[in-house]
Amino acid sequence: MRTRVKICGITRLEDALSAVEKGADAIGLVFYAPSPRCVTIAQAAAISAALPPFVSVVALFVNPTQQEVNAVLTNMNVDLLQFHGDESEAECAQYGLPYLKAIRVKSDTNLIQYALTFMSAKALLLDAHSDAAVGGTGQVFDWNLIPKQMAKPIILAGGLTPENVKEAIQQVQPYAVDVSGGVEQAKGIKDATKIAAFMAAVNG
């Protein structure tokens, strides 16, 4: 089965279209003000509206209020929600949309328990734990911490680049990989050449 790809932290329409042209399955739009990749609803709606069919739009939140999520859902098309904070399963599931739960992995993280706790999630997105940021850190975590048998599909994130993604896929065999900083020329500004190299490495 092929490994699917999400390009996250998209802030510009040209980057979204470049990602799709190179074969990305999904794009991620960040609705978290402290992030340098945060977009306004107007920005995100314009990007979402211009995408071709069969490309998933993922809206990323960190401990949002209901009002914040509903404001996005009211004003644009979203296929999947992604929760990157300390949200409970009930908080993630309350919008009636499929969702991903991001887990920031460190040495004592019980991923088996997380899979049971978030049974309603479509997948668990595994990212590096950092005290400095909740995501997009560019840091790789120890892939050996991922159990071989998980009750949920795995989306691997955290410091993936065109140089290491092939090894990551061979070791972890995730359902999908998620990249942001690894295909950027600056935070929030993607690099079409790096996207192409990343997709080639995944497909290779």
Catalytic residue among 25, 38, 92, 127: 127
Q: Is 92 a catalytic residue?
A: no
Provide the residue count of the chain: 204
Catalytic residue among 8, 15, 92, 178: 8
Dmax (CA) for the chain in angstroms is 43
Selection from 70, 18, 77, 21 nearest residue 45 by Cα: 77
Distance CA 185, CA 84 (A): 24
Q: Is 8 a catalytic residue?
A: yes
Query: Hey, is 26 helix, strand or coil?
Result: strand
Selection from 198, 195, 187 nearest residue 137 by Cα: 187
Can you say whether the dihedral through the CA atoms of 141, 143, 146, 151 is positive or negative? positive
How many CB atoms lie under 10 A from the CB of residue 185?
11
Distance CA 189, CA 204 (A): 25
Distance CA 31, CA 194 (A): 24
Q: 3-state DSSP: the chain helix, strand, coil percent, rounded to 5?
A: 35, 20, 45
Catalytic residues: 8, 127
